[in-house]
Amino acid sequence: MNSTRLSNWNLLEDAFADRDYDIQEWLGETEGASFVRATHRPDGRRVLIKLLAEEGIDAERQLQLWNRVREFAHPHLLRLLDFGRSEDGEEPFLFAVFEFPDDTLAKALERNALSETEALEVREAISGALAYIHSHGLAHAAVDEAHILAVGNDIKLASDTLREPDGRNTVANDLAQLDALFPPPRRVPETAPAPVAVVEQARPEPIHAPTPQPARPPFPLWAYGALAALLGGLGYLFLPKTPPPPPATRAVSSSQTPTRPPATASAVAASPAQGRDYWRVIAFTYSSRKSAERRADAINKKWSGAKAEVFTPNPDRSPYLIALGGRMDRDEAVRLLKIARGKGFPRDIYIQNYSR
């Protein structure tokens, strides 16, 4: 079965008739794979399904890889929700089910160029996702505009291209692709002290008065265009045109408490717990304190009981986390996590122990 056969509508409907997905739209094909949009029947959420013909690939190895990737949990990596094998007579194929992206960077760049600040935020998000992928011994192999996505309120890197490193696809190649797409920020050289005579005559500048910046929402601006046309007024705590990300499908147990690391660093203990084991409910991750503070204020205006605040495991530097409810024990954190999800927070909201 080739990729063209995988676009056969009757074939797809028959193949998924006994599963939890209704095929809605064929999106295209590339390099032996086809992509379709589907609806997850139990909750009506949209998902992206990748279809691979078994001919010419090591099917068992691919299924083993997807089994590993399904366990991955990073805020800037597209989640693999389900996978498996289906058959059409004597022509079997594999499928993988992912979160459905609301926009791609490639399409966004057709509308407008990114500002320097936006480019830096995207780079930081993708850099964190790559570090996570590489720490699990895999390479991404396609760090480009088409594989950088917006899902609800988050910037995410597509995960359907993950693979074992080989001669062409390596950690070094991933990082080189990222640098080509978003060059690393240049360090500002330190200037030599001014002569004493000049210093004595100069009017001192206030060191805590940064240049005012125009207010900008924490959501990646490059995703607004597609979301405005696509999503309407869904969502509770996000901007009016942003829906909550899809929940886990049957392949991911909803009874399990998600545990994922912050976007740019592994879990690091915070200030001493003053003799008490304490937990926090982490809703969002930002590289900018101002962006995090704006989001925390917006949450508290919509839900007074949220007690949202900006928290950072590493004092005075990113990542800046938005924590709900303050310090609490684990049972309290789990209860608040469930309440927050019921109010429309992202499904990948998580709890973290910050005691030492």
Tokens of 197: 């005579």
Domain shared by 88 and 119, yes or no: no
Taking residue 169's Cβ as centre, other Cβ atoms within 10 Å add up to 17
- Tell me the CATH number at 75: 3.30.200.20
- Tell me the CATH number at 119: 1.10.510.10
Domain shared by 47 and 125, yes or no: no
Domain shared by 110 and 238, yes or no: yes
Checking if the pLDDT of 307 tops 80, the result is yes
What's the pTM? 0.55
Checking if the pLDDT of 151 tops 90, the result is yes
- Whole-number pLDDT of residue 5: 55
- Number of domains making up the chain: 3
Is residue 241 classed as helix, strand or coil in its secondary structure?
coil
Checking if the pLDDT of 279 tops 70, the result is yes
The residue from 72, 99, 126 where one domain ends is 99
Domain shared by 130 and 177, yes or no: yes
Checking if the pLDDT of 268 tops 60, the result is no
- Whole-number pLDDT of residue 298: 86
**Helix-then-strand count for the chain, H and E:** 9, 12
- For 226, the enclosing helix (H) or strand (E) is helix 224-231
Give me the half-sphere count of Cα atoms (radius 13 Å) on the Cβ side of residue 57. 21
Query: Residue 148 falls within a domain, yes or no?
Result: yes
Domain shared by 54 and 90, yes or no: yes
Domain shared by 142 and 39, yes or no: no
Q: What is the mean pLDDT of residues 145-156?
A: 92
Domain shared by 111 and 91, yes or no: no
The residue from 99, 116, 137 where one domain ends is 99
Q: What is the mean pLDDT of residues 140-167?
A: 94
Query: Residue 330 falls within a domain, yes or no?
Result: yes
Checking if the pLDDT of 233 tops 70, the result is no
Domain shared by 156 and 233, yes or no: yes
Range of 157's domain? 101-186+219-246
The residue from 99, 119, 143 where one domain ends is 99
Domain shared by 40 and 149, yes or no: no
Domain shared by 239 and 281, yes or no: no
Which carries the bigger pLDDT value, residue 177 or residue 271? 177
Q: What is the mean pLDDT of residues 190-219?
A: 45
Domain shared by 107 and 46, yes or no: no
Taking residue 109's Cβ as centre, other Cβ atoms within 10 Å add up to 13
Tokens of 312: 């950072």
Domain shared by 80 and 172, yes or no: no
Angle in degrees, CA 39, 98, 216, rounded to 5: 100
